[in-house]
Chains A and B, each alone.
Chain A
């Protein structure tokens, strides 16, 4: 298995803080996957991402990128990675195209960003000042900025937060396409719907420590109830029964219900990613 990142015993403390923000975490990111780093606000997700993007230094532990110590990479590291920030990162008094031209000029190779602008629905607004953009437009422009250099590893912080469902779908579709091209995508998000739709592997961070490493499917199996709930009409009376998924095919009562009554709804006991988030992180509320 080829790894893009291998993080071992990573600790980090901000100079003015009393305790470590990151407390000896270890995880690995396989090449070509969509990796989700999840956790409540202040858990250490952004700090971890800042360390991996070399914005923060002074950590202890080891981080290997493509098998080599991250510290040995110089500015050429940024030719291989793309970073999409959660907040807008553009010059407001420059147009979208001027912004992209400026940042593209810093790389050896770039994509056809006008085509990508078209894809995310910003082509018509390319000559508009970014300061006049809506929040959603700025988020989409951030996404294009992150992909400017056709990076092999893409860091995306809340890539669809604040987007309407149509535009969020466009972004998610592109993320899937990037994965299919063999790129590795590192996502930090609190939108559990995105996690379920996008991520191959997730790591939950709570108060600087890893509380769970898994896949969305495994988590759903682990935390969900192996049951199905059937609502049906018995004459004029609405009834609801619960059946165990174990040997459901030979459960006479279940088979009788679906054969003899008008079924209104069937739901599985699969738990939502939101519930899993709360269970894993121990947080009642999250942002």
Chain B
């Protein structure tokens, strides 16, 4: 347990040292500008999308940057010959992504509460954000472990963004009827957005449950079935 805490502490310190957290906060501040120019109703509608973008999709970029920094510096190799398990290493990385997500969440939601007086179920929001981060970082690791470098990962990431946001676009533009909404839940970003939205407004509890279980199972499944098997191999290459 103490090794895990030490790893988590190290990950968080490096988020600051490598200015990854600074980059994350900068993006959150841009969202504040976007929210600031909206009416409270518009802000409430757009915030779930921004939070999922920030905590989910931006997390992919941040863990990607962190992974390639570490690969370039060969520090993962050094870690893998230390008395820590790969599970502990991965948990520490997920926790650091959650930490980053919480910071941006506090900035964005805090601003929305203060500036627009929005009401939000904080605890629910924090619980749901876990599912968003775990599922999105897991998908992010698939991109990372299948890409030679950060640029190659970004190209795949662009395609992923398009794929994930398509359901949101199709439904918000009313190209797809609400009777087909359940299919949109396949997109982790759509499911995440739904969950975050439910922290602001009352939404179908069954759908919340489906979305939450889906994101958690998807995230954990990818970590256990793919990331755990591939991480070490890719990390020690080169």
Contact = CB atoms under 8 A, between A and B. Distances in A.
Given A89-B73, A94-B14, A105-B3, 4 more contacts: A85-B78, A94-B17, A103-B82, A105-B10
B6 to A, nearest CB: 4
Interface in A74-102: 75-79, 81, 83, 85, 87-94, 98, 102
B83 A89 contact: no
B77 A90 contact: no
B73 A91 contact: yes
Interface string A93-126: 1100010001101111000000000000000000
20 contacts: A53-B81, A55-B77, A55-B80, A55-B236, A56-B236, A75-B85, A78-B81, A85-B74, A89-B75, A92-B73, A93-B14, A94-B14, A102-B6, A106-B3, A106-B6, A106-B82, A107-B82, A107-B83, A108-B83, A145-B78
Interface string A188-231: 00000000000000000000000000000000000000000000
Nearest to B10: A102
Interface in B26-81: 73-75, 77-81
Contacts of B7: 106
A13 to B, nearest CB: 14
B11 to A, nearest CB: 10
Contacts of B13: 94, 98
A233 B224 CA distance: 79
B113 interface: no
Q: A-B pairs with the 9 shortest C-beta distances?
A: A89-B78, A78-B83, A83-B81, A89-B74, A106-B82, A105-B6, A93-B17, A75-B83, A102-B10
Contacts of B75: 89-91
Interface residues of A, number: 29
A50 interface: yes
A75 B81 contact: no
A91 B17 contact: yes
Contacts of B163: none
Contacts of B78: 83, 85, 89-90, 103, 145
B22 interface: no
B88 to A, nearest CB: 9
B18 interface: yes
Instruction: Assign chain B's interface to a size class.
Output: 20 to 34
Interface in A256-278: none
Given A93-B18, A103-B78, A88 B85 contact: no
Interface SS of chain A: loop
Contacts of A88: 73-74
B103 interface: no
Contacts of B170: none
Given A55-B236, A93-B17, A106-B3, A87 B80 contact: no
A79 B74 contact: no
Contacts of A87: 74
A108 B84 CA distance: 11
Given A89-B73, A90-B75, A106-B3, A79 B10 contact: no
B35 to A, nearest CB: 32
A90 B73 contact: yes
Contacts of A91: 14, 17, 73, 75
Contacts of A89: 73-75, 77-78
Contacts of A53: 81
Nearest to A15: B233
Interface in A33-78: 50, 53-56, 75-78
Contacts of B6: 102, 105-106
Nearest to A81: B81
B97 to A, nearest CB: 18
B77 A76 contact: no
Among B7, B13, B17, B83, find the residue whose CB has the most chain A CB atoms closer than 10 A.
B83
A253 to B, nearest CB: 59
A75 B17 contact: no
Nearest to A78: B83
Contacts of B73: 88-92
Nearest to B5: A105
Among B6, B10, B14, B82, find the residue whose CB has the most chain A CB atoms closer than 10 A.
B82
Contacts of B10: 102, 105
A244 B225 CA distance: 69
A104 B81 CA distance: 12
Interface in A120-138: none
Contacts of A94: 13-14, 17
B74 A75 contact: no
